[in-house]
Structure 1
């Protein structure tokens, strides 16, 4: 891990169900007129509904309920970086063609985890995470498109950033130790010593991220903005509410100074 300072993502069962439905209807229709006939109908229905041997075979097993979202029925394969390069062309206008944005208001995506990028695109598409530009960009994307785009940017290496020397001491203390008296855990507990994050737990990589972008997001979290209703999405708002403006500025600057000397080798390590 390196640190740089400034200036220094079946037919049988269906038939049985139909018979049951028709038989039950007959029972209800005849209940008030002929109790005996109703009982006979119910008995007949019960006899018909006895499972046939074929019903126990795997081919006869059907889901109890169909998924509400048709896309959920389609298996999404791991992302394809080659396919993702073409799909990510439009992203380059803000995030840079290789994921290293030149405008600090837009986050660097180079080296970011595939699953994390895909998940955030899903959040933008659903409106869980509010951003008018990203809503328009994410809406036409399929789940596979999102994974492919994520794979493409994950294959890139973030350009090293720099940190303000005057903010390093406080930023390093908060990032590596936190402040237990104020309820601030160490950032490295989730994002790693070198800011590489944890793809399995969906904690993003922070390495070399623009300080301006990080500061803006920490301020949003401090003010109660969240990217979902689940427990995972509530982590940062709970932490950031305990940060003051000086803490936020120091952490943002420190994060920008974090970088991995050989990002591709680090990503391949266990």
Structure 2
């Protein structure tokens, strides 16, 4: 079999491997240093004092699993995830500083967008069952039935605002974001309709900030 040039030259979507050394490195990170660094770098300007933003366009990072947050920070620094502002913030930071930040924000209390919410039947099917005809896994298989997240690179999604969730899934759908391992979210988002993305975001989202 002859592989196309694009496949042969394809680069990994991230330089982070969830191997034992990485996980041990994160376990030994220092949240106190992370808190001090967050204050020094004024992370609160976009993400709020404790990782919950006052703007629906900015992502909330409170309560994110440190392994996921660490990967995103490394991806910003390595330009595997495109964001000019985040690149400027982290381009001079080393792995230890990024790990400390990830652990600090992971310890902060997150909101719960699904608390008290009822699923529509269409949303229930996607969250609980997925759609075998489209080869869609259930959202709950990775993110949990209430969006609390899973292991390693399966983030909490019930601590986000609807606007951010729609923007994130649309970026995956349109290949504007490509740092998902094995293209999993790109595949899912491309298979979902715009209406389904809106409905899922509405179910998982926090109330809009006042």
Interval of TM-score (by shorter of Structure 1 and Structure 2): 0.7 to 0.9
Q: Which runs of 5+ in 1 are unaligned?
A: 1-71, 259-270
1-structure distance, mates of 2:90, 2:132: 39
Is the alpha carbon distance of 1:205 and 1:166 closer, same or farther for their aligned partners in structure 2, counting shifts above 3 Å? closer
Structure 2 residue 62 is matched with structure 1 residue 113: no
1:111-260 matches, within 5 Å, as 111-161=63-113, 168-200=120-152, 202-228=153-179, 232-256=181-205
> Is contact 1:92–1:99 with CA below 8 Å preserved after alignment?
yes
> Is contact 2:161–2:206 with CA below 8 Å preserved after alignment?
no
2-structure distance, mates of 1:188, 1:83: 34
- TM-score, L = length of structure 1: 0.61
2-structure distance, mates of 1:257, 1:170: 20
CA deviation vs aligned residue, 1:189-241 (integer Å, no higher than 9, x gap): 111122122233x211112321111111111111123433xx82511101111
How many aligned residue pairs are there?
Answer: 181
1-structure distance, mates of 2:50, 2:202: 22
1-structure distance, mates of 2:81, 2:93: 16
2-structure distance, mates of 1:85, 1:233: 32
1:13-92 matches, within 5 Å, as 78-89=28-39, 90-92=42-44
Shift of residue 182 of structure 1? 2.5
- TM-score, L = length of structure 2: 0.78
CA RMSD, Structure 1 to Structure 2 (Å): 2.5
Report which of the two structures shows the higher radius of gyration computed on alpha carbons: 1
SS in 2 for 1:195: coil
